[in-house]
Amino acid sequence: MSRQWPVSCSAGEGDTLGDIFRRREGKVTETKGMRERTASCGCGNLTVTTSGEPCEVHACSCLNCQRESGSAFTYGAIYPEAAVSIAGERRVWRRNVDSGRWIETEFCPTCGATVLSRMEYSPGTVGVPVGCFADPDFAKPEGFYWASRRHHWLQFSEDIESVETQPD
Ligand SMILES: [Zn+2]
Ligand SMILES: [Zn+2]
């Protein structure tokens, strides 16, 4: 099964069970029916506000992701660029990946946490590291990329599509 890339975006659709519970408790912020969430760096000086639901959520175990995150994999949500706003002082780092294309990350100069990424192969979209939302109920990854580089103990549930390298 092959995935379409870049993914098509349909922001604002689909409520998770967690959304329904939070709405009952009055903890969901909405603007024109679009759910807003705020992601933040470790020190809180740099924030990203997203509107609506992500187009795609994925995890990646490539060695670049491991180094940048200092962890076994990254867990990112992809949004249309227009659905995201960033506020606060930040630095930008652009690097070339194995495919020869670039990836750019925006991070806080105080605490160093990355809150946004842009990918040459997916124009018009940005990625937000899911951990920055500090929301354990956030949607699970649909795909797990670079499974061939995963740490030997790491096992995802079977409904998460595992891709040995990355989608074409
Ligand atoms: Zn910070
Ligand atoms: Zn990666």
Going by C-alpha positions, the residue among 102, 130, 119, 147 that lies closest to residue 38 is 130
Return the half-sphere exposure (C-beta side, CA atoms, 13 A cut-off) of residue 83. Answer: 25
How many angstroms does the Cα of residue 62 sit away from the middle of ligand 1?
25
Enter the DSSP assignment of 142. Answer: S
Separation CA 11–CA 51 (nearest Å)? 8
Q: Decide: helix, strand or coil at residue 64.
A: helix
**Structure-block tokens of residue 97:** 């990946």
3-state secondary structure of 8: coil
Cis omega (within 30 of 0) for bond into 6: yes
Per the listing, tokens 């930008």 go with 92
Ligand 2 geometric centre to CA of 26 (Å): 36
Does domain 17-162 fall into CATH 3.40.50.10330?
A: no
Residue pLDDT tens, the chain, 168 long = 444 444 445 434 444 445 544 444 444 566 567 899 999 999 999 999 999 999 999 999 999 899 989 999 999 999 999 999 999 999 999 988 777 899 999 999 999 999 999 999 899 999 999 999 999 999 999 999 999 999 999 999 999 999 999 876
Where are the chain's structural domains? 17-162
Residues making up the chain, counted from first to last: 168
Q: Residue 101 Cα, ligand 2 centroid: separation in angstroms?
A: 13
